[in-house]
A and B are shown apart, each in its own frame.
Chain A
């Protein structure tokens, strides 16, 4: 590969008008107006050197972009334009150089399959002649277009680096690694160097529909051959099964993200990659595998496990919780309590004044009412797990009194994590939300109690959740008669919950 870089980049010898004309152009008729555009034929679709030479002559001769058509030898001829010589450079035309970024851009863009690439580049060169800094205006539509072509070429090259898959073939005098690859653009010559640098000591061939390249480490030579089809490449390698084993096992079924995969590994490349045959079955089986993992974990026998230790550690961690600002105001974290195999899991709102001091949930006036209601409903409190949606006391001071103040959404959200962890340990078949705050914590949604208390909800883990009022609501009802009604209704709810819990246990 010749190093065109220096030549185009240096101002001294390149666009010097004294350079003679030569190259592939024919003879220009000296007389008469030129009607047909000048036709320039390049040897290869990625013939940067040829383009550069012709472009240099054209620019120096003052041929505007609209008067040139470009084509590649062997392609269907351009309908318009005629072969002709570039007119001689106008005398005294000053020489000019192009900035290095233009060379880089042109070398990449010329490999694009876009037929207009030569003309676009020539237009830009023409522009650069008038304004040497034209390339710096990235928002210029012509610059933008060419930058985008170059970017697509870079991307195609990157995909070639990534997705070429060699297969090992035994030849009489050793082994050769052969790959078949289908690039979108004319990048094979451009990218050969990458594979030479990486696999210097291996004998290898990369076959593509346009051309093949072969590297011989003995002579350190790269040779070109004609284009090939997939049938010309070997059809397998014993190691592919091992590679597929790796591919299947490094995939985590709990985090399926098919779109992200397709964005980076478009399907057009899949045909020549051994592992992609696994994609469909892996996706299809992912949810099942994940559920299996969860189920296995849930079905695991709890005896002799570290449930108690886990709960104690969780409670310990919660004691130093600073997830929201409420830790500044309460005395301590009031964590849930109860047997870890409880079948009913109560979630209240928040500890109150007495709970904050005692460090235990539901011990104040609301707690006493709760105990009484449980007793009436025939539920033994000591068999249930009782906790709060928010685990720190929130209050406003009125004189010496600490008056309970409702937790806001952010505080519920912040504390929700603890409640979820408690439920993950206890795994209750039935959870009861006492009031709107608890319901919000369990479902993430704002619910109206009146509506929600009619039928159970299903939680994310598939278990049942019943919603009823919070006992403190019953304490605050001013009218005696309504208070009695609501209390009876609360007990009724608890009875239904007990019945349902027994039903679930029997199932």
Chain B
């Protein structure tokens, strides 16, 4: 094969990385390039430097070191039996590309993943070498996310944590039979074992940092994972429960959901339809309900239809509210934070503002309107000094009344 130049490699290895959902660059420790020899800063919240027409943000240079792989996971375009064009970056090429993009303010840093070549350890060494060179040779202080290889030597994985802001190990599929069918060479036990090891290393790092200021920070943005939605038989309820156990057992920062995409040269095991984007969106919304709104996983599950799927036409919080109408209306002037957070259309910010302002005024509907996006959606669920929804929550057609009119997704588009 003819030698590929950097741009040709970039085209292949960025294309191969586009199925990864995460591009986050937030939640790490604050640092900047003052007093250093290199460049880069992180100020807590991530920055999205561009948006692709698929609506996803571009925050990091998200690429694979190589798209060659010895595994044959059916959902993956890089599997051994796929006939995509292969390419491989050297560690130094990735370093140079990251620095050059960063200097022009195109990116917040690097998200590096890789197909597995030669051995897990060899691949992991290469990934770590990129991060090491960026940090040590170039004093790079931007964001680094490394996807670790589950069965690599724990010492290599530990090195990854020392250089990277975030590390991740993908659980790939929400069910064990799904994993067996679609990723026969991976095992749930191995993946979760690696996550557990990482959790321990992160906790040790945090303890050391508490004791000694000089201790190096270890993956300050924590660990995350991704699962593919729509390629196995898992229902939304299955996925929600799975995600919540992952959060609990491995102290994950984030679980990402990636709607399965039809891919070139798809394995015959896989569905060929368009990815269920709205389903993915509803799962993210349910994730938020659990992380920020105090919903328990079983409560999210109870918002699902009897077949275990969250409704596609309304968000899960509204679905929950419509099922548990006895909970409403909630009195804006008296309700607790927990109660207010259950009101569809009231976000965490609006709730905080209401609680703060409530000490100074009795809320009318207009006051609520000033603090929220759409009071019309909220009205059936709240009581204010001048508003009481007369049995509105008992109306059988309430769902039709507040649900967004436009159709969200063309399931059967030609």
Give A residues with C-beta under 8 Å from B: 133, 136-141, 144, 158, 161-168, 177, 179, 194, 196-202, 237, 239, 241-243, 245-261, 264-265, 273, 275-276, 279, 282-283, 286, 290, 293-294, 296-298, 300, 302, 305-307, 309-310, 313-314, 316-318, 320-321, 323-324, 408, 410-411, 413-414, 417-418, 420-421, 424-425, 444, 460-462
Contacts and interface: CB of A to CB of B under 8 A. Distances in A.
B38 interface: yes
Contacts of B74: 310
Contact of B104 (A140, A177, A252, A253): A177
Nearest to B142: A198
Contacts of B348: none
Q: How large is the interface on B (under 10, 10 to 19, 20 to 34, 35 or more residues)?
A: 35 or more
A257 to B, nearest CB: 3
A173 B370 CA distance: 55
B266 A297 contact: yes
18 contacts: A166-B104, A242-B10, A245-B10, A247-B52, A249-B11, A250-B58, A251-B52, A255-B275, A258-B55, A261-B54, A282-B53, A306-B81, A306-B269, A408-B306, A413-B309, A418-B233, A444-B412, A461-B272
A414 B235 contact: yes
B138 to A, nearest CB: 11
Contacts of B273: 420, 424, 460-461
B6 interface: yes
Nearest to B35: A200
Given A164-B105, A165-B104, 13 more contacts: A137-B357, A137-B360, A139-B370, A162-B49, A201-B33, A249-B18, A250-B52, A251-B53, A297-B263, A297-B264, A317-B181, A410-B305, A462-B414
Nearest to A320: B177
Interface in B40-72: 40-41, 43, 47-58, 61-63
Contacts of A275: 50
A215 to B, nearest CB: 12
Contacts of B262: 254, 290, 293-294, 297
Contacts of B357: 136-140
**Chain B at the A interface: SS class:** loop
B54 A245 contact: no
Contacts of A197: 32-34, 41, 43
Nearest to A443: B412
Nearest to B177: A317
A200 B363 contact: no
Contact of A165 (B6, B33, B105, B263): B105
A329 B385 CA distance: 52
A136 B356 CA distance: 6
Contact of A300 (B32, B56, B265): B265
B232 interface: yes
Contacts of B6: 242
A255 B370 contact: no
Nearest to A420: B271
A243 B11 CA distance: 10
A273 B357 CA distance: 41
Given A198-B40, A314-B269, A257 B34 contact: no
Contact of B51 (A253, A261, A408): A261
Contact of B367 (A136, A139, A324, A421): A139
A275 B57 CA distance: 13
A303 to B, nearest CB: 12
Interface in B1-44: 6-7, 10-12, 14-15, 17-19, 32-41, 43
Nearest to B20: A250
B118 to A, nearest CB: 25
Instruction: Give the interface centre of A158, A246, A298, A424 by most chain B CB atoms within 10 Å.
Output: A246
B293 interface: no
A269 B48 CA distance: 14
Contacts of A162: 47-50
Nearest to A253: B54
